[in-house]
């Protein structure tokens, strides 16, 4: 007996960019993940590892020099095979709601929040004018805990937290089954980070999932059900969040290094630098930085049993310091 169909199913997704000199930059390599309704999956990793490129692919927003392979299904629609007309009319806002990295830049600066919500309601719901349109816009604001008294303000008049709530309200209008939050806490202080991710968590439900793309492990720990760790274009670990942040901890040496670098843990940086995406090694991309590496690491490990590593960790991590 099979379970319910995932909201999002990504299989062997690869993305590369052709440069002017004919060389290629491999931004995503063979990514695989499933995301179920009611679930938050946090995709984490250092800047430049390919997280946001993967998000752009799901929205059909890759530049013209991008080449893709694999599939990314929402329901029966392969997002990678869809044309621009389909993406614009049936995906963006309707199947995938985007909470962007920089909401203040995402919002139109010369229009009030109310007018932008009303425009989005008209586009996605068919409510065109009058009291119904106004009520629908106000309902969208209320769902994102955006105060009604600020609806007639412009984006520059909002705090960072309120701008984020305005962007979330826009993302929720179409009742998309996938909410995609791409670095939604960038530039926010810790209190606002916690409030922002708590608010995002509130919108996960029986018919909606959340893909949280972040470098903020504390934010991921706060709301994620599962973790996907990305390194140098590749997903190297998939794990339940409780196991990842607790015991036994991550199994991939890179993922362990991410946790060890946190101030509340060992505060030990990962030595070395990640490889250039235009010159990825044939084997394990982390081998040059890894104290477990042996000759077999010259071959690329498959993602098996949730980890892509020839020498996965088996010893539980120590608890973080109080």
Q: For residues 180 and 2, which has the higher predicted lDDT (pLDDT)?
A: 180
List, for residues 120-143, the tens digit of each pLDDT value: 999 988 777 889 999 999 999 999
Residue range 301-311: average pLDDT? Answer: 95
The residue range of the domain holding 25 is 1-84+215-316
146 pLDDT higher than 90: yes
Among 98-112, 245-259, 293-307, the range scoring the smallest mean pLDDT is 98-112
pLDDT tens digits for range 35-78: 999 999 999 999 899 999 999 999 999 999 999 999 999 999 99
Cβ partners under 8 Å of residue 58, min gap 6: 8, 72, 79, 96, 178, 180, 211
Taking each helix axis as running N to C, give the angle between helix 160-172 and helix 130-143, from 0 to 180 degrees, rounded to the nearest 10.
Answer: 120
pLDDT given at position 38? 96
**Residues of the chain with pLDDT > 70: what percent?**
96
Domain count across the chain? 1
Task: Specify the CATH number for the domain of residue 238.
Answer: 3.40.50.300
Q: How far apart are the C-alpha atoms of 30 and 304, rounded to whole Å?
A: 13
In a domain, residue 39? The reply is yes
Q: What is the pLDDT of residue 322?
A: 45
288: confidence class by pLDDT, cuts 50, 70, 90? very high
At residue 1, the pLDDT reads 38
287 in any annotated domain: yes
Instruction: Assess contact for 232 and 280: CB atoms under 8 A.
Output: yes
pLDDT at residue 125, as a whole number: 84
Asked if residue 11 belongs to a domain, the reply is yes
Mean pLDDT across 14-40 = 96
Percent of the chain with pLDDT over 90: 79
Helix axes 113-125, 160-172, angle to 10 degrees: 20
- Give residue 45's region: left, alpha or beta (phi > 0; psi -120 to 50): left
Q: Residue 260 above 70 pLDDT?
A: yes
Tokens of residue 317, six digits: 């991590």
As a whole number, the mean pLDDT across the chain is: 92
Q: What is the pLDDT of residue 189?
A: 85
Q: Is residue 32 part of a domain?
A: yes
pLDDT band at 2 (very low <50, low <70, confident <90, very high): low
pLDDT in tens, 151-192: 999 999 998 889 989 999 999 999 999 999 999 888 788 888
- Give a yes or no: residue 182 inside a domain: no
For the ranges 21-35, 79-93, 256-270, the lowest mean pLDDT is seen at 256-270
Q: Is pLDDT of 211 > 80?
A: yes
Is position 138 within any domain? no
Residue 45 lies in a domain: yes
- Going by pLDDT thresholds of 50, 70 and 90, the confidence category of residue 3 is low
**What is the band of 225 on the pLDDT scale with cuts at 50, 70, 90?**
very high
CA distances from 170 to 35, 97, 102, 247 (A): 22, 8, 14, 38
pLDDT digits (tens, 9 = 90+) for 104-114: 778 999 999 99
Whether 230 shows a pLDDT value over 50: the answer reads: yes
29 falls within a domain: yes
Judged against a pLDDT cut of 60, whether residue 301 lies above it is answered with yes
């Amino acid at each position: 007996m099979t379970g319910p169909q995932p909201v999002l199913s990504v299989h062997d997704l690869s993305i590369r960019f052709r440069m002017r000199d004919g060389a290629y930059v491999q931004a995503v390599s063979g990514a695989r993940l499933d995301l179920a309704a009611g679930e938050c999956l946090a995709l984490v990793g250092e800047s430049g590892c390919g997280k946001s490129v993967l998000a752009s692919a799901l929205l059909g927003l890759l530049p013209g020099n991008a080449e893709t392979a694999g599939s990314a299904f929402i329901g029966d629609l392969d997002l990678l095979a869809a044309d621009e007309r389909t993406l614009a009319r049936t995906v963006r806002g309707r199947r995938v709601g985007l909470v962007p990295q920089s909401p203040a830049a995402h919002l139109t600066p010369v229009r009030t929040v109310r007018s932008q919500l009303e425009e989005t309601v008209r586009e996605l719901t068919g409510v065109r004018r009058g009291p119904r349109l106004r009520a629908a816009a106000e309902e969208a604001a209320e769902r994102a805990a955006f105060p009604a008294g600020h609806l007639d303000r412009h984006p520059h008049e909002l705090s960072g937290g309120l701008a984020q709530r305005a962007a979330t309200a826009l993302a929720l209008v179409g009742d998309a089954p996938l909410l995609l939050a791409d670095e939604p806490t960038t530039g926010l202080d810790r209190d606002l980070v916690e409030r922002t991710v708590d608010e995002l968590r509130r919108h996960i439900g029986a018919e909606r999932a959340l893909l949280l793309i972040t470098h903020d492990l504390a934010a991921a720990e706060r709301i994620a059900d599962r973790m996907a760790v990305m390194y140098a274009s590749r997903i190297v670990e998939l794990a339940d969040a409780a196991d990842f942040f607790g015991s036994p901890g991550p199994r991939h040496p890179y993922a362990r290094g991410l946790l060890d670098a946190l101030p509340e843990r060992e505060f030990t940086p990962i030595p070395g630098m990640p490889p250039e995406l235009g010159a990825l090694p044939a084997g394990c991309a982390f081998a040059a930085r890894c104290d477990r590496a042996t000759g077999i690491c010259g071959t690329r490990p498959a993602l098996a049993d949730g980890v892509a590593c020839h020498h996965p960790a088996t010893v539980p991590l120590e608890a973080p310091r109080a």
